[in-house]
Amino acid sequence: MTETAPAPARSVQESPAQVRSLADRMREIEFDPRMIGMVVALSLIWIGFNWLSGGAFLTPRNLWNLLVQTASIAVMACGMVLVIVTRNIDLSVGAMLGFVGMVVGLVQVRLLPEFWGFEHPLTWIVSLVAAIGLGGLVGLFQGALIAFLAIPSFIVTLGGLLVWRGAAWWVTQGQTIAPMDGRFRPLGGGIEGAIGAPASWAIGLVICAIIIAGMAFARRRRARFGFSLRPLWAELAMAGLACGAVLGAVLIANAYLLPAGVARRLTEAQGLAWPPGGLAIGHGLAVPVLLALAVGVAMTFLTTRLRFGRYVFAIGGNPEAAQLSGVNTRKVLMLVYGLMGALVGVSACISTARLNAATNSAGQLDELYVIAAAVIGGTSLAGGVGTIAGAMLGALVMQSLQSGMVLIGVDTPLQNIVVGVVLVVAVWLDGLYRKRLG
């Protein structure tokens, strides 16, 4: 093993003079065609609804709300990708969200105030940590049943769906808990959950800087090993596209103006005079959207850069091979469910804060939307294939369909029919695509 036979140079460098198919070219510049397909589908949905609603869809106000409404499902979809990649399923996330949400409500409205009174500055963070911890524990427990007792995940989480929904009712015997803590509410969006225009610009620029630095770093690293690099134009186009999307989102969020009354109150609260012509103050990015983005970035890092993510995908591709390679497959599977539970905890906070109340029916049918988002986003139910970004886009597609239909006045039963049909058609198209190019 010590000697390294002289490998022919051409095995290191790709031979240039070859007729390449379109798929090869796409692979070379590392554009994922499926992702492009999803962006195109999303654009068509947006343009279609904008036309049908007479221009009401593509307004800053609607887009801002759309993103806020997507946040909760998008966060959970990140975890569901890993669950489905390992060839499992989690049907209990909606019920878990209800249960965790009720406990969070109880903690911040009944328990913590007994210690330190209402509106304590630490209440919101204690609530958030408690939700993530409780969700994580519930997830780990279900994961242990699946991984170590070898009970099928479908059954464990189907049982979980009933158990946690029942438990959500049990927490307060069905009573709704409201209102939430003032510092907790921004997690759900709304006017108090918007960070304002200047902060939005700052965050947008920081994100752009990170994107460019990350791409430059990766390129230099590949160059040092003498690997093939994607063409510079493709690299620059990618960077431009990514930064454009970020700054575009900031622009739209800032263009959604606060109602005049609120803007006036805020201005006067800062000791400034309200000018006679009024002031245009933008909402800026919403806290839940930023939270969802942060979860998405962290989960993408976990799946692509860490050993844990590599194991998750290897288990999905061939569980036996992963085990024979020395991967502790049971532990990994249990942790995947723990992670799913922790993300349910985050979503429970977002939706409880958004509603400004904890109800035992929160999160009903969420499991189906989360699974649909992951699957529309390219996660294969056969296991081993899926991306976080795809699942988040999938969540956005689902929410766009729903919001759009509400906007143009489609009846609720028909909405469900359309969403169901779209899910089936999307998976069918994805299967066709895989067969042709996979």
Partner 1 sequence: MDVTAPLVEMRDISIAFGGIKAVDGASVDLHAGEVVGLLGHNGAGKSTLIKILSGAYRADSGEIRVSGEPVAITSPRDAKRHGIETIYQTLALADNVDAAANIFLGRELLTPWRTLDDATMESETRKVMGRLNPHFRRFKEPVKALSGGQRQSVAIARAIYFNARVLIMDEPTAALGPAETKQVAELILELKRQGIGIFLISHDLHDVFELADRVSVMKNGRVVGSAPVRDVTQDEVLGMIISGKCPAGATPGPGALAG
Give residues in contact with partner 1 (CB under 8 A): 1, 4-5, 7-8, 11-12, 14, 27, 221-222, 224-225, 227, 304-307, 310, 313-318, 320-327, 384-385
Helix (H) or strand (E) holding 314: helix 307-317
Cβ–Cβ under 8 Å, residues 284 and 196: yes
Cβ–Cβ under 8 Å, residues 146 and 153: yes
Q: Which is nearer to partner 1, 110 or 221 (CB)?
A: 221
Q: Which of 267, 291, 269 is nearest to 277 (CA)?
A: 267
Q: Report residue 400 as tokens.
A: 């766009």
Beta carbon of residue 194, minimum distance to partner 1 (angstroms, whole number): 34
Beta carbon of residue 22, minimum distance to partner 1 (angstroms, whole number): 16
Q: Which is nearer to partner 1, 184 or 311 (CB)?
A: 311
Distance CA(79)–CA(340), nearest Å, equals 5
Distance CA(249)–CA(204), nearest Å, equals 9
Q: Which is nearer to partner 1, 292 or 327 (CB)?
A: 327
Beta carbon of residue 222, minimum distance to partner 1 (angstroms, whole number): 6
DSSP string, 370-395: HHHHHHHTT--TTSS---HHHHHHHH
Q: Which residues contact 235 (CB under 8 A, 6 or more apart)?
A: 215, 219, 229
Q: Which is nearer to partner 1, 142 or 303 (CB)?
A: 303
Beta carbon of residue 224, minimum distance to partner 1 (angstroms, whole number): 8
Q: Which is nearer to partner 1, 68 or 85 (CB)?
A: 85
Distance CA(205)–CA(200), nearest Å, equals 9
Beta carbon of residue 324, minimum distance to partner 1 (angstroms, whole number): 5
Dihedral over alpha carbons 177, 355, 105, 138 (to 10 degrees): 130
Residue 256 amino acid letter: Y
Q: Which is nearer to partner 1, 110 or 222 (CB)?
A: 222
Cβ–Cβ under 8 Å, residues 258 and 281: yes
Angle of helix 33-52 versus helix 388-407 axis, rounded to 10: 10
Q: Which is nearer to partner 1, 291 or 336 (CB)?
A: 336
Distance CA(411)–CA(415), nearest Å, equals 6
Distance CA(186)–CA(124), nearest Å, equals 10
Beta carbon of residue 379, minimum distance to partner 1 (angstroms, whole number): 12
Beta carbon of residue 73, minimum distance to partner 1 (angstroms, whole number): 26
Q: Which is nearer to partner 1, 5 or 273 (CB)?
A: 5
Beta carbon of residue 47, minimum distance to partner 1 (angstroms, whole number): 35
